[in-house]
Amino acid sequence: MGKATVIPFGPQHPVLPEPLHLDLVVEDETVIEAVPQIGFIHRGLEKLVETRDYNQFIYVAERICGICAFGHSMGYAETVEKLMGVEIPERAEYLRVIWHELSRVHSHVLWMGLAADAFGYESLFMHCWRLRERVLDIFEKTTGGRVIFSVVKVGGVVRDIDDAMFAEIKRVLEGIKDDYRQLCNAFLKDSSVKNRTVGVGVISHEDALAMSMVGPFARASNVNNDARCLGNGGYGKLADFQPVLDGQGDCYARVKVRALEVLQSIDIIEEMIAKIPAGDIVVDVKGSPAAGAEAANVVEQPRGECYYYARGNGSKYLERMRMRTPTSQNLAGMATALAGCDLADVNMIVLTIDPCISCTER
């Protein structure tokens, strides 16, 4: 055994899209312990709820994260709607699900590109991001924005999608599916990918449960945890929904779960487009949340379950808005997965939890 050495990893590191610091205690080339540290990009967004009214805060909520921007605006709006007892039109629920699942597709494909970059497969990275651009183009045409959409409103959505655009979305998604299957073939069958991912950073089913892991990170350890199963909003209208699970718990299983979830999301979008009812997209919301009224909500973000809590104080400003994001749940699992791995595998393991530090710190 060699002498234990502490190697700082991040917050500025080529593999990290966001600032996360890890103190890696290594002996020879093996990591003994990893101590994560966050706090580099705290912006105090939850506090802003005191100075922005409940309608204005939606634009703050969607700026919590650039990748799950739509999920945050939808989660916040649903929480305030619960708080005020507002029933939104059915068409708005369907539209929210369509945009949210498109966000999941672009988030997962982005992540797969980053993972390919981490294990040194540049052309695969380029192809992933090329496909993601097509999803961003759909967002640009339907919402007017590529990253921040500002289409959700307390009471519904502010933009509708017409039949011609739905036909175009279906056509684009069919094209994506065809190319995406070839990408999956590379991700799941390529020997160079398998060499870097199979058996790396294993988290057992028991550990995943004990550490309350969420999202694809937990589902790769066979934890049947998907907030979409609760059937909130438009998700309740799905004919059949079964989460994608895998029992291996290693980096390969995490890649596989996310890869299959993209195809599942495309199927959900197609089902929603086929079933979407005609009608209004927004209801008028008057008044303010009652003093002491509380509401909680759960949304399955691309990275996992995100919990929202809101409390009113009788004015148009909320008393408290709290979010518990998926990455804060998954950091403990990441530290466990890192213990005992090779130093060269650290970047792969860190990426496979898909860390979103700007969500975590807000």
Q: Which residues bind other proteins (CB under 8 A)?
A: 52, 55-57, 59-60, 121, 123-124, 127, 130, 133, 140-141, 144-145, 148, 150, 158-159, 179, 182-183, 185-186, 189-193
Within 10 Å of residue 272's Cβ, how many Cβ atoms? 22
Contact 34, 26 (CB under 8 A): no
Closer CB to other proteins, 25 or 282, in the complex: 282
Q: How far is the CB of 86 from other proteins (least distance, A)?
A: 18
Q: How far is the CB of 135 from other proteins (least distance, A)?
A: 14
Closer CB to other proteins, 77 or 214, in the complex: 77
Q: How far is the CB of 156 from other proteins (least distance, A)?
A: 12
Within 10 Å of residue 1's Cβ, how many Cβ atoms? 7
Distance CA 134, CA 252 (A): 26
Q: How far is the CB of 80 from other proteins (least distance, A)?
A: 15
Burial of residue 222 (CB within 10 Å: 0-12, 13-18, 19+) is middle
Q: How far is the CB of 119 from other proteins (least distance, A)?
A: 11
Which two tokens mark 305?
A: 């379950």
Closer CB to other proteins, 11 or 145, in the complex: 145
Closer CB to other proteins, 66 or 145, in the complex: 145
Backbone angles phi, psi at 305, to 5 degrees: -70, 130
Backbone angles phi, psi at 24, to 5 degrees: -95, 115
Closer CB to other proteins, 29 or 53, in the complex: 53
Closer CB to other proteins, 141 or 205, in the complex: 141
Closer CB to other proteins, 51 or 204, in the complex: 51
The partner residues of 31 in beta bridges, in order of sequence, read 26
- Hey, what amino acid is at 101? E
Q: How far is the CB of 63 from other proteins (least distance, A)?
A: 8
Angle between helical axes of 90-118 and 251-275 (0-180°, round to 10): 150
Candidates 216, 201, 204; CA nearest to 329 is: 216
Q: How far is the CB of 298 from other proteins (least distance, A)?
A: 26
Distance CA 132, CA 145 (A): 15
Cis ω on the peptide bond leading into residue 11 (within 30° of 0)? yes
Closer CB to other proteins, 87 or 178, in the complex: 178
The C-alpha R_g of the chain, in whole angstroms, comes to: 21
With tokens 């036909």, the residue in question is 167
Q: How far is the CB of 84 from other proteins (least distance, A)?
A: 19
Torsion 138-140-145-151 (CA) sign: negative
Distance CA 330, CA 339 (A): 15
